[in-house]
Structure 1
Amino acid sequence: MTQDYYKQKIEQLTETLLDQFESSFNKFENYLDSLINSTDSINSNYQQIAFPSVNVPQTNFENLNFAQQLFREIQPLIKQNVNNQVKHKKKPIYQEQNLQMLGVKQNMTLEFQKLKIEKIQNQMEQKVSDKDVLLQQSNKNKSLLYNQSNSELFETIQTNNQSNFQSFTYQLVSKYSISQNECCRAIAINKDCSIVLAGCGKEIKVFEFKQGFMKQIQILSEHNNDVHTLNFMKKSNQFISGSYQSIIIWQYNQNNLWVTQQILNGHNSWIYCLILNNNEDLIISGGSDNTIKFWTKKNEWTCQQTVKDHFNSVFGLSLNQQQNKVVSCGNDKQILIIEQQRQNKEWIVIQKITVELSTLRVRFIENDMFILSQCGQDQISIFEMNSINKQFTKTKDIVVKCGSDGYCLFPSQYINSKSILLMKNGEYVNLIKKKQNGQYLTEQSIHFGTNVLFGGISDDGEYLITWENKSKEIQLRRYNEQ
């Protein structure tokens, strides 16, 4: 074969290599452009940075000065690519001419490679420089956006805190007062504030309730003695009443009347306190027979268990949020912590706390925290569970107003949506705000001038309804923020 033939082949091979290098370079250049373009997504997405619940994709630009290292890494790859392509070409007939061609080709390739690397280096340095400018601008934008977001977030938190710490009062609406001469020892409001019950002596008066106005629609006379407790169910159209020895389950029938569904007999004296669990398949009752009874429902309600650790009347009961602990208080100056066992579901007394005076009211306000009211005291106490030994101990006292005391009825209530604790103490109804920092502030102490005082508050905290023997009226007070 002639010298011109080999020269032509060398030129063809060189042209092929040039095309391959150009293609590789274009791909590499496009990759660099994609890195630059990725900074745009930072500005568009950074507005989410103030909110940790959102995952913001971020590009790591800590190693932007990687050009020299990249050059060192791609140079042997380029050489290897050239050698591989030469290796797989068909060998010429004459070895000497083949070696000559290879030497010429390698020299051309090296010169071309050198030029291309210089070009790549110059362009990469320019791109890195441009990227640094973009990154500086991006950081500046992020800083501005971060400060703006934090400012908005701070304003939001401040607004929420102001709402949480908003002062309030319950204002008497005199036009809605109802004259009631007979003592009303229990009052309850249903979940949507459409029905009010009042235990007036042996009778239960049912009122239709519309924006504060109460209209009597029915009188229930099944109890033989004074009604002491009333509790609406929230999942069904039923309520429960407690009196002397008996508990009655009431249901709303097709004729729009409340009728007796079942009577529970088990206590042998007065029932002073009664609570329901969230599932409404457990009733817990306590009274002057010194017992706490646990009633469960399958086809009908039956007494599952009786706790007899109190040695005097049981005045107060409360379930924690997890529904696995009950706290009780009573006239024996004892507080019982009763826990449900996981295996056999039996309720076991796990702690007894002795205090100085009779305890009238108790209420869980958190899963492992309850508040206690002792007879005639101008303070209420907070008990919290120690995380190590799992025992409840008193951690603080809250100053309230009281006056003369002696009645255990009118159970305490905690309105979670408003963080309001209602505690009847003697002649006063104290309304206490639980703050986010764990502090408690008595916002209002309503003085009724008598301790013969009973009532209840709606689940949303909008209405407080009371009866006392001084005015002998069922009175309505409405929540009002100041």
Structure 2
Amino acid sequence: MTHTMGVGQFRLSFGFAPVLHIRIWSDYTGSWIEEATLVGEHEKTIRSVTFSPNGKLLAAASFDEKCTIWALADGVWDCMARIEPNSTEVKSVSFDSSGQYLAICTRNHQVMIWDAMSDDYFDTCTANLDGHTQDVKRVLFHPNREMLVSASYDDTIRIWRDEGDDYECAQTLRSHTSTVWDVAFNDEGDRIVSCSDDKSVIVWEPIDKVELDGWQVACTAQGVSDFPLYSVDWQKGKIIVSGGDDCIRIFEVQTRPAEDGGGIRLEKVDEKDSAHAGDVNCVRFSPVDTGVFCSVGDDKVVRLWSV
């Protein structure tokens, strides 16, 4: 069972396998109700879902070699576009802060950017980013800059920048020793956290904090779990991590005293044992309720938590 999750304003969406549908839940009334079930488009596992910033579009990536884009109009969700990138599994999707561009990543090592404002929605690939040598597991736009981060089975993270005519790889981050499954920005966008099959969590920061250039390791938490780490998110100084066991771990980003060399460290402040009956595949903070996050697992359960 694979669950992936997108979080939008007062909405949650989940992709399910093997039943191959997307469920959208909302809490406009103060309690969570199922708003819609999106079916009929995907034939294999739905790997990733995400809302556009305004909550009116939803993108879904699937192992059936297709990405679908759904639009909300008059209270109804309809599939309004399909992207089929070179007959390869689509692993992750991310909208930029304007909602105009959608990044996807694939099993054949590619990162691609598609334009929502083209003549026929999402029919134009504006950038094809090559560089990874293995599956790309995660792609994520910066919260407010023309910058993109990708994480891969090749153990690396790549930083991509819009150089006017195209996105170019500005830097490759290599401190993980196995598959990098997930990445997240902090609220300010000047730090990145990553988690990996090597069971570590790494926080990265740039040397140039204005241009966000020269990314380097700020701190590392090794041996976070005895199992691979699949998902990570960051909000208000708190980092949540989940993976191949039943546990969710919560870390606080703390400033080291000057006498200890300064910088930052990750301090584990909570551990939710038996959060799910099996792998916890994804954790995401709510963008509207600070300190509230969701988790989804192999046990077919969706849970809401408070930090």
- TM-score range (shorter-chain normalised) is 0.7 to 0.9
Tell me which amino acid in the other structure corresponds to 2:229.
T
CA distance in structure 1 between the aligned counterparts of 2:43 and 2:99, rounded to whole angstroms: 32
* Alignment TM-score, normalising by the size of structure 1: 0.51
Please state whether the residue corresponding to 1:352 is helix, strand or coil. strand
CA distance in structure 1 between the aligned counterparts of 2:158 and 2:250, rounded to whole angstroms: 26
Please state whether the residue corresponding to 1:323 is helix, strand or coil. coil
Check 1:421–1:359 CA distance in 2 against 1; reply closer, same or farther (3 A cut): same
Larger proportion of helix: 1
* Alignment TM-score, normalising by the size of structure 2: 0.78
Question: Does residue 198 of the first structure (1) align with residue 63 of the second (2)?
Answer: no
Check 1:371–1:286 CA distance in 2 against 1; reply closer, same or farther (3 A cut): same
1:13-162 alignment runs, 5 A limit: none
Q: Describe the superposition over 1:126-176 as per-residue Cα deviations: whole angstroms up to 9, x where unpaired.
A: xxxxxxxxxxxxxxxxxxxxxxxxxxxxxxxxxxxxxxxx996532346x4
CA distance in structure 1 between the aligned counterparts of 2:208 and 2:119, rounded to whole angstroms: 42
CA distance in structure 1 between the aligned counterparts of 2:74 and 2:302, rounded to whole angstroms: 22
Q: Describe the superposition over 1:428-480 as per-residue Cα deviations: whole angstroms up to 9, x where unpaired.
A: 222123xxxxxx3xxxxxxxxxxxxxxxxxxxxxxxxxxxxxxxxxxxxxxxx
CA distance in structure 1 between the aligned counterparts of 2:71 and 2:45, rounded to whole angstroms: 20
8 A contact 1:288–1:312 mirrored in 2: yes
* Residue 430 of structure 1, aligned match among 300, 303, 306: 303
**Partner residue in 2 for 1:413:** 284
**Partner residue in 2 for 1:15:** none
CA distance in structure 1 between the aligned counterparts of 2:163 and 2:205, rounded to whole angstroms: 22
Larger proportion of strand: 2
Uncovered stretches (5+) of structure 1, i.e. residues with no partner: 1-165, 434-439, 441-482
Check 1:273–1:395 CA distance in 2 against 1; reply closer, same or farther (3 A cut): same
8 A contact 1:373–1:425 mirrored in 2: no
What is the CA-CA distance between 1:177 and the residue it aligns to?
A: 4.2
Q: Which stretch shifts more, 320-329 or 215-224?
A: 215-224
Q: Describe the superposition over 1:229-288 as per-residue Cα deviations: whole angstroms up to 9, x where unpaired.
A: 011123251111111200111002452321111100111111111222122311111111
**Partner residue in 1 for 2:272:** 398
Question: Does residue 338 of the first structure (1) align with residue 204 of the second (2)?
Answer: yes
Question: Does residue 376 of the first structure (1) align with residue 212 of the second (2)?
Answer: no
Tell me which amino acid in the other structure corresponds to 1:320.
N
8 A contact 1:400–1:430 mirrored in 2: no
| Sequence identity (%) | 16
8 A contact 2:195–2:201 mirrored in 1: yes
What is the CA-CA distance between 1:316 and the residue it aligns to?
A: 1.3
CA distance in structure 1 between the aligned counterparts of 2:230 and 2:29, rounded to whole angstroms: 28
What is the CA-CA distance between 1:400 and the residue it aligns to?
A: 5.7
CA distance in structure 2 between the aligned counterparts of 1:218 and 1:202, rounded to whole angstroms: 14
What is the CA-CA distance between 1:376 and the residue it aligns to?
A: 1.8
Check 1:167–1:364 CA distance in 2 against 1; reply closer, same or farther (3 A cut): farther
Over aligned residues, Cα RMSD in angstroms? Answer: 2.4
Q: Describe the superposition over 1:391-432 as per-residue Cα deviations: whole angstroms up to 9, x where unpaired.
A: 1111122356312327x5xx4322232233122233222212
Q: Which stretch shifts more, 322-331 or 389-398?
A: 389-398
Q: Would you say how many aligned residue pairs link Structure 1 and Structure 2?
A: 263
What is the CA-CA distance between 1:297 and the residue it aligns to?
A: 1.2
What is the CA-CA distance between 1:315 and the residue it aligns to?
A: 0.8
What is the CA-CA distance between 1:193 and the residue it aligns to?
A: 2.8
Higher radius of gyration, 1 or 2: 1
8 A contact 1:269–1:289 mirrored in 2: yes
Tell me which amino acid in the other structure corresponds to 2:97.
K
CA distance in structure 2 between the aligned counterparts of 1:256 and 1:184, rounded to whole angstroms: 24
